[in-house]
Structure 1
Amino acid sequence: MRKNKNLESKRPLTISAQDGLVDQETYFNKRIASENLSNYILVKRGEFAYNKSYSSGFPWGAIKRLDKYENGVVSSLYIVFSLKCDQVDPFFLEQYFDTDRWFDEIRIRAAEGARNHGLLNIPASDFFDINLGIPSIDEQIEIGRFLEDISKTIALHQKKLCYKRLKCKINLTMFALETHFYHVDFNLVSKGSRLNIMQCVD
């Protein structure tokens, strides 16, 4: 695995089920990673990271693609990989991993009942042996772009909704202050093929 031995990145990342790979300090509003990041795994833009800890909606862990930053680092407990097969579209795969279609492949490879503080016991070699049912590359591209557009639309509407709620809250606060001033008393799977993935290496 590719270590951050030259401190190429000083940005510790964490996986958010909703936001993907994000800056840990910004997400938690504090630093959780150790001061020395040289033993962390370096992740570059476009690569995937698998967090083997379960979370809400992801009982077999979460896999996210780094697209917000040029690079970052994750704990050595993560499995980091990139695609080496040109018959797999990264945008499609990113959306695929947001579904539960790959859970069974992890479940049958994870040691029975082997969870250490919520962390799945699945070696990298077993993880890279998983089979994913995916459509042809042309279908992947079409589906991936379609789902990506939907995600962007949802995110845009969520931002608008948050803005409307904030504006409403501000208005209510202003009116409350104004009232108080004047009246003091008173939130596809089709044909299967084998996914060829590789772990990031030096």
Structure 2
Amino acid sequence: MVPEGWKLTTLGEVCNGQLQTGPFGSQLHADEYTTSGIAVLMPKDLVNHRATINSASKISPERAQDLKKHTLKVGDILFSRRGDVTRFALVDEGARGALCGTGCLKATPSEEHAPEFIAYFLQKDAVKRWLEQNSVGQTMPNMNTSILSELPLMTANSRQEEEKIAMILSTWDKMINTIEQLLANSQKQRKALIQQLITGKKRLVRHEKSLGYKITSHGEIPSDWEYPMIREVCSQISEKNGSGADYPVLSCSKHEGFVDSLKYFKKKVYSEDTSGYRVIPRGCFGFPANHIEEGSIGLQRDYDIGIVSPIYVVFMADEEKVNNEYLYALLKTEHYRQIFSAATNSSVDRRGSLRWKEFSSIHVPLPPLSEQNKIASALATADEEIEKLKNKLDCIKQEKKALMQQLLTGKRRVKTEDKEK
């Protein structure tokens, strides 16, 4: 149902047919790009629905003059022509004067419509599905101006109403951006805190006098810390799910650690027969031997017993010597990811795997257990703050999505100056 004064239309009608393909490779050769000059926007430069020239390729002003019909104005909308055809961006002042590059399509809304409103409408899930379903190409999705011009849209009663709707939604975007910045800062601070704590540069215990530092193969650590090999404080677990019990099948991701495979992938990606899978009890560590160099190592916190693929190495730490959360934070650092990568590359295993023998030979800095506990507690506090920000961000995004559904379909109307008069 279309609200009074609103109209079902297409992108082609909204733009009065002003859709254009960027220059083809035959018109703009790779050897013409320079490190300075006029920016040429490619699909990679369409970030979060905004056109950015920060890392864009450039061509000389003289060559740009030859391609001036591709020059971008504020309010133009760029679309990716191949690959992720749902990718688009609104051109603002920051990208004014750049060129629509190879791999992009340009649409120019008429003056009757607010480009910001059109850009918000293009964020709708229904629009993304339409673009995916109507793309062409067998090996890679492709879009062209003919198809794009048929993209269904709904426009408001007037440009003023569209601008008011866009202004309301932009306020929500500002809130989202603020929280995203707070989240990024918190994550950055946590990373710096970990680095200080696991190297002893920041101590959470007081000493009457400085104890100094000692040199290890991986840098300086406090002289009162131990520096054992992993096998000296951890032991491997090799138990298999011989009975084929229906335990949760877990996978390890780079950023999230262990996840329930079925829930995470939303489909079954593991074998029907799990009798050969390894058992991983709660509080144990595990990693896929052929992917640990990517940082894929996890601590199993969610189930009393889970199972993992036979390619995983499973181990547990000595609770009298090691705080699991401290060790986990240590092993998830970029420093240890590089150590794992180096150990994998030097392994005699030609399959590019890191087995327990080589992994357990790696050394770790180990403070007294009481200090490990304090470090783990400090990191938990930081994690709680990050989790709160993530939850808040998710909530606001969902609220914005619901508001978009109402405003962009006219189910909720806004007052404009004309109506108020």
Q: TM-score, normalised by structure 1?
A: 0.77
Deviation per CA, 1:127-173: give whole Å up to 9, x if none: 11211123222221111111122112211210110110110110121
Say if 2:270 is the partner of 1:33: yes
2: distance between equivalents of 1:4 and 1:167? 44
Letter in 1 for 2:408: A
Per mean C-alpha deviation after superposition, the further-off stretch among 64-73 and 105-114 is 105-114
Q: Which of the two has higher C-alpha Rg?
A: 2
Deviation at 1:64, TM superposition (A): 0.8
Per mean C-alpha deviation after superposition, the further-off stretch among 165-174 and 126-135 is 126-135
Identity %: 23
Deviation at 1:108, TM superposition (A): 4.5
2: distance between equivalents of 1:61 and 1:125? 18
Deviation per CA, 1:72-128: give whole Å up to 9, x if none: 111111100001252211111121122123235434533448787xx6322221111
Which residue of the partner structure matches residue 306 of structure 2? 72
Letter in 2 for 1:29: K
Q: Contact conserved, 2:407 with 2:413, CA < 8 A, in 1?
A: no
The structure-2 alpha-carbon separation of the partners of 1:7 and 1:181, relative to structure 1 and needing over 3 Å to count, comes to same
2: distance between equivalents of 1:7 and 1:174? 50
Letter in 2 for 1:164: I
Runs of 4+ in 1 over 4 A off after TM superposition: 113-116, 179-182
Deviation per CA, 1:20-59: give whole Å up to 9, x if none: 21110100000111000000001111000012344xxx74
Per mean C-alpha deviation after superposition, the further-off stretch among 127-136 and 58-67 is 58-67
Which residue of the partner structure matches residue 360 of structure 2? 128
Which residue of the partner structure matches residue 11 of structure 1? 248
The correspondence for 2:382, drawn from 139, 150, 154, is: 150
Q: Contact conserved, 2:248 with 2:260, CA < 8 A, in 1?
A: yes
1: distance between equivalents of 2:268 and 2:300? 19
Q: Which runs of 5+ in 1 are unaligned?
A: 183-202
2: distance between equivalents of 1:79 and 1:71? 15
Letter in 2 for 1:109: A
Q: Which runs of 5+ in 2 are unaligned?
A: 1-237, 415-421
Q: What is the count of residue pairs matched by the alignment?
A: 177
Q: TM-score, normalised by structure 2?
A: 0.39
1: distance between equivalents of 2:374 and 2:337? 24
RMSD: 2.6
The structure-2 alpha-carbon separation of the partners of 1:91 and 1:99, relative to structure 1 and needing over 3 Å to count, comes to same
The structure-2 alpha-carbon separation of the partners of 1:66 and 1:129, relative to structure 1 and needing over 3 Å to count, comes to same
Say if 2:336 is the partner of 1:102: yes
The correspondence for 1:44, drawn from 281, 284, 298, is: 281
Pairwise mapping of residues 75-86 of structure 1 onto structure 2 (< 5 A)? 75-84=309-318, 86=320
Letter in 1 for 2:331: F
Matched position secondary structure for 1:42: strand
Q: Contact conserved, 2:250 with 2:306, CA < 8 A, in 1?
A: yes
Matched position secondary structure for 1:49: strand
Say if 2:391 is the partner of 1:163: no
1: distance between equivalents of 2:310 and 2:335? 25
